[in-house]
Homo-oligomer: A and B are copies of this chain.
Amino acid sequence: MQAPETPGATPTARERILATSYRLFARRGVLGVGVDEVIERSHVAKATFYKHFPSKNDLVLAFLDRREREWTVGLVEAESHKRGETAEERLLAIFDVFDEWFRSDDFDGIAFITVLLEMGKSHPLGQASIQHLANLRAIVSKRAAEAGLRDPEQFARSWQILMKGSIIAALEGDLDAAQRAKAMAANLIEQFR
């Protein structure tokens, strides 16, 4: 039986590996981080690593899944939900969340795009990244439908251009990128009302 991570206790080997690779992959991409470094910083034996993750690819896939749970859902969706009453407010609040995120020490880029660019869109990891980006877009699309906007799917594609563009701008150092994007986003809502 795999204990579901009792808080306070020492995390299991698998959990340590995932936590370490999350930190490293999110900030430095997957090509620039070797399994040896993950292993060393997880304080785990090599055999243990390969027992849990038969190949580096499997680890990256697990990382992308976790990224979706923690970032897409835990940060973007959940936090923006809290900050608004209506679907429309909650859409715009995404950029308020981004604004805080860009300014925080936790800002670590957008892993799905990083992996996509590193691996290319025909590689399995690129494909997985594209899927995760589609899942993120689905959240936007769903809210757009709730808000009664027309053509939620097309709306979400435009909206995501603003999300991606602002994150890249922030990575370059533009700390106000979220505010710029929010202004354009407000306009986009008007266009789709």
Contacts and interface: CB of A to CB of B under 8 A. Distances in A.
Please state the number of chain copies in the assembly.
Answer: 2
Interface in A145-182: 154, 157-158, 160-166, 168-169, 171-174, 176-177, 180-181
Contact of A32 (B118, B166, B176): B118
A45 interface: no
Interface residues on A, range: 35 or more
A169 B117 CA distance: 12
Interface string A111-155: 001101111110000000010010000000000000000000010
A177 B161 contact: yes
Nearest to A155: B180
B164 A177 contact: no
Contacts of A158: 180-181, 183-184
Contact of A168 (B27, B113, B120): B113
A11 B28 CA distance: 37
A104 interface: no
A2 interface: no
6 contacts: A116-B171, A121-B171, A161-B162, A161-B166, A163-B165, A187-B187
Given A31-B118, A183-B191, A184-B188, 13 more contacts: A27-B120, A28-B120, A32-B118, A32-B120, A113-B168, A116-B172, A121-B171, A130-B173, A160-B165, A161-B165, A168-B168, A184-B187, A187-B188
